[in-house]
Amino acid sequence: MAKDSSKKTKTGSAKTVSPKTVASKSSSPRLTKMEQLAEIAGVSVSTVSRALAGNPLINQKTRGRIVELAAKHNYQINEKARNFRLQKTNVIAVVLMLDVKSEQHISDMFFLEMLGAIADALSAQNYDLLLAHSPVGNVMDVYNSRTFGQSDGIIFIGQGNQHKQLNEFAALNKPMVVWGSNLPNRDYCIVGADNVVGGYLATKHLLNLGRKEIVFMGDINMPEPKQRFEGYLKALKEKGVKFNKQLQVDVPFEMSHASEAINDLLQQKIHFDGAVCCSDLIALSAIAALTESGLRVPEDVAVVGYDDIALASYSSPSLTTVRQNIVQGGRILVQKLMAQINGDTVADSVLKTELIVRRSSGAW
């Protein structure tokens, strides 16, 4: 004879059984089709689908009842069938706009930190990441690749010199968002920081510390360094310091090129007492080259980087840098793309740009 589940315990209180336990002991058959669940609930299949997806168009009471029935009958959504029906892959492609000429690589810490933030944000949305990390000569080539066909949307990290091609890609109506600069005549959504402000803050900081001959290190043929250079020029003009063309050095986002550039300046006996670098990796490479040549940082040359990667605070000396919040940027990129996938119109996001003062600039 079965025991009464409400039988009193020795303390006199009634033994309780959770609804979960009742459901697990239920003799109700396991449902495998949404149609079966809809029939039991007395609603349409579309209502069941929306309710299980948490769609607010279905009132809370109905949603709750359908969720309870699904649990009672051990019903689980067939994600593959659902995605096929909705023509979804639950995959987001990330394209790194690597600079072919500079031999820039995925091991760049900026890319690694950005990818980590994007991957975490996608995982929270139950999406996987498809990484396209080979240098892209023409963005439109992505159209014929699995990057396009096997993803619900694409995140481009950087613009390179392919603003026009990105506009053409946007015309394909594939959900996309770009980490980059606010360029004129743009047809795609961007997330990024104010590069003009960043370059201005870095240069003004060194000028206020009494540095007058400040080298600018960055490839001004690229959108972001070009805007940082504009900020550099603005700060010089504001302080009444004449721009010296010899102190503008085109350096790609790659460490070895920065070392070569510093050594070239020293060999040509071009004097400088400060350096504004377009990335932290360029700055760290510059510090290493200066130290090897017998110069002291910051006593002889004050250095400011850009990005505030994790390594910046642990370098020797610790690196003064312009922070653009990489982790926040990765999260916002995913948010913008998810909104597009859901049919929403999205606006650009400009992150806060701030100067982080450490030892390399001589302010301490």
Place of tokens 């050095």: 249
CATH class of 23-84: mainly alpha
Percentage of the chain with pLDDT > 90? 62
- What is the architecture, at CATH level 2, of domain 195-325+355-361? 3-Layer(aba) Sandwich (3.40)
* % of the chain surpassing 70 pLDDT: 86
Within 10 angstroms of residue 208's Cβ, the number of other Cβ atoms is 12
CATH topology of domain 91-192+327-345: Rossmann fold (3.40.50)
Domain 23-84 and domain 91-192+327-345, same fold? Reply is no
Pairing of strands 189-193, 248-249: unpaired
Report the chain's terminal Cα–Cα distance, integer Å. 82
CA dihedral sign, ordered 277, 278, 279, 285: negative
Q: CB atoms < 10 A from the CB of 246, how many?
A: 13
pLDDT in tens, 288-340: 999 999 999 999 999 999 999 999 999 999 999 999 999 999 999 999 999 99
Domain ranges of the chain: 23-84, 91-192+327-345, 195-325+355-361
Q: What is the pLDDT of residues 58-69, one digit of tens each?
A: 888 998 998 899
Mean pLDDT of 97-124: 84
Query: At 297, which amino acid appears?
Result: V
DSSP state string for 64-130: HHHHHHHHHTT----HHHHHHHHT---EEEEEE---TTTT--TTSHHHHHHHHHHHHHHHHTT-EEE
- pTM to 2 decimals? 0.76
